[in-house]
Structure 1
Amino acid sequence: MADLSVKVGSVNLRNPVMPASGCFAIEYAEALDFNRLGALVIKSLSPTCRAGNPTPRVADCHGGMLNAIGIPSHGLAYYLERVLPPYTRFDTPVVASVSADTAALFAEAAAALSLPQVAAIEANISCPNLEADGRAFAVSPQDTFEVLSAIRRQTRHPLWAKLTPNTADVAAVARAAEAAGADALVMGNTVLGMAIDVRTRKPKLGNVMGGLSGPAIKPIALRMVHQCHRAVSLPIIGCGGIATADDAVEFLLAGASAVQVGTASFIDPGVMGKIVDGLHAYCQAHGVERIQTLTGAVAIDDQLAERWHRYATQAA
């Protein structure tokens, strides 16, 4: 069997497969052996209580789904008492994802989650920043640097920065995250979109706009992983439209060290186990002894890669 173990900063994973936050729950243990995964990423915590967005919150669309959940939360105390403990009984690193409206709240929550049973903290900075008129932190390199610096001052825990594809220059944002002390990047989250019911002429989401996920965004996510890989030395966790082992391998070749699976788990709660099996089969078929050797191994002419990098930077 090939060695599927990888390392994301200081965090050792038995394999590169983990859930995306918000797309996974403890009930999935009925369909999936959690001890077979690389990590368990819990739904993002908001340190303040919030009801979430108005309904409807989910809409089907071609090649994926739209959602505008709004990260409902019962707050930090409830999370520590009721949400986190069930995940810690497994022999798999637990990653606590955090979402907050301000840099100060992000830092406060990260400090509270810097616990021995938490292997890493994922800062979901692709969420709105109330101090910047609702613009996501990760849209701006400056906002990214400020929020991650605030978090880093409050914790020495491994810090993963979850970026957004809804930015003009993802490489600049990635460099800002690295400069602020992030240990890894999660690239990325959903692509902003909307859908309209032509019979009622109303938006299909109660929030009007929401995040597009699923196979439709995979080429976008893959491109951004590759751009981040060229821009920084941090390990990258690829996310966006991954549903098969081949999808995961594509992200590894583009520069990811690990992957997160989101929408596909709603269709098949056991899909991550199948992806792990598929990675073993891929490595055996292609003579890959250690899967970590695939990271960034896409065959692209250096001059061509540099040309596209300049083009993307100028377009931004």
Structure 2
Amino acid sequence: MFSRSGRIESIEGDALTTEIGTVVLENPVMLASGTAGHGMELSSSIDLSSLGALVVKSLAPYEWQGNNSPRLHETPSGMINSIGLQGPGLQYWMEETLPKLKSEKVNVVLSIWGRTLADYVLAAEMCSNLPEEIVAVELNISCPNIENRGEMFSHSTESTRSVIEATESIIKPRWVKLSPNVTNLVEIAASAKEAGAEAVTLINTLMGMVIDIDERKPLLGGGGGGLSGPAIRPVAIRSVYEVRNALPDFPIVGVGGVASFEHVLEFMMAGASAVQIGTANFANPKISETVIKNLHKWCKDNGVQNLKEIIGIAQRS
């Protein structure tokens, strides 16, 4: 099994230990891709080793400039972004950022993306010899496939399967992050499982748009964007619940509007084995430490020996 221990040992034994397939984490709290930079940005605010894992901002096998500004806009109960997956590329990250993360003793989940299947193949080849600090690779497939009229890879069973098959050279466990902007999420999750994904991350952002009424045009430089934050949490919870119900042996990582320990419990009761905190990091970079501390307290107060006891419990009510 792929597992590593951070510097800080659990004050309540292994009450928070969880498993996502073959990946073992000391606690179920991760930072979501795109909300903690490429790894080191929050290191001055929190002890990164206290996290279950840190999911880095998605990286392509090449440098990418992203979309025009403005890229972010606050919305009621959330935010909408059109960053466009800006990043320095995998090679630069591995040479410049990964060594620093190693010194932090944090479990890292590498996130990769591409615009074509060939991009994913190349990214996978660059990930053929990853160090132990990287415990899994998350496949971000909510990206336009320029070889298929710009349709998102995550919007069909066929293209989802094709990306997973294109990255089979990656030895580390692969988690596929799916889009909620579909009507057949369970079918797509099933195709991901059949193609070899070890887990599924639910959900990516919802598609949205904000209009600048003075300029009479979309506010974001990229036009539309991805909605995240508390507003999407009920959608994420239901997505986790439905996939867990249909595929009870397929590990799920829940993400979408997590901002408290209660939200973590909600996701886990719906069927997630772990969660990722995203947009809430922008408002409070220390929120993950508070959530972990409160999870320990909740387990103690409620006589729960390990949070694994509650995974999917809402399915049985």
TM-score (normalised: structure 2): 0.91
2:61, 2:126 within 8 Å by CA — same for their partners in 1?
Answer: no
Is 1:89–2:103 an aligned residue pair?
yes
Report if the CA contact (8 A) 1:195-1:205 is conserved.
Answer: yes
3-state DSSP class of the match of 1:119? strand
- Corresponding residue of 1:182: 197
**Offset from partner CA, 1:146-167 (integer Å, 9 cap, x none):** 1101111x12211010111111
How far does residue 299 in structure 1 lie from its aligned partner after superposition? 5.3
Alignment of 1:195-214 (within 5 A): 195-214=210-229
2:51 is the alignment partner of 1:37:
yes
Structure 2 equivalent of residue 239 of structure 1:
255
Could you give the per-residue CA deviations for residues 265-295 of structure 1, whole angstroms, max 9, x where no partner exists?
0000000111101111211222111011111
Q: Indicate yes or no: 2:112 matched with 1:98.
A: yes
* Alignment match, 1:269: 285
Q: Take 2:153 and 2:295, find their aligned partners in 1: how far apart are those partners?
A: 34
Determine the structure 1 residue equivalent to 2:70: 56
| Structure 1 partner of 2:185 | 170
Which aligned pairs between 1:59-78 and structure 2 lie closer than 5 A?
A: 59-78=73-92
* Superposed displacement of residue 64, structure 1: 0.4
Q: Percent of pairs identical after alignment?
A: 41
Check whether the contact 1:102–1:130 (CA below 8 A) recurs between aligned residues.
Answer: yes
**Distance apart, 1:229 and its partner CA:** 0.9
Contact 1:46 1:72 in 2 (8 A): no
* Counterpart position of 1:112: 126
Alignment match of 2:155 (pick from 139, 146, 164): 139
The structural deviation recorded for 1:235 is 0.7
The residue type paired with residue 58 of structure 2 is S
Higher mean alpha-carbon deviation, 106-115 vs 28-37, is at: 106-115
> Retained in 2: the 8 A contact 1:96–1:113?
no
Cα distance in 2 between the residues matched to 1:236 and 1:299: 14
User: Residue 4 of structure 2 aligns with which residue?
Assistant: none
- Higher helix residue share: 1
Count of aligned pairs between the two proteins? 300
TM-score of the superposed pair, with normalisation by structure 1:
0.92
Q: CA deviation at 1:300?
A: 5.2
Q: Please, which moves more after superposition, 101-110 or 185-194?
A: 101-110
Q: Secondary structure at the match of 2:79?
A: strand
Q: After the TM superposition, which segments of 4 or more aligned residues of structure 1 sit over 4 Å from their partners?
A: none
Unaligned runs of 5+ in 1: 302-316
Asked if structure 2 preserves the Cα contact closer than 8 Å seen for 1:139 and 1:168, the reply is no
Q: Is the 8 A contact 2:108 2:135 kept in 1?
A: yes
Deviations 1:68-125 (A, max 9, x none): 0001122232121113222122333211100111122112212312312321111101
Greater shift in the superposed pair: 106-115 or 174-183: 106-115
Contact 1:238–1:260 (CA under 8 A) maintained in structure 2: yes
Supply the distance in 1 between the matched residues of 2:244 and 2:301 (Cα, whole angstroms): 26
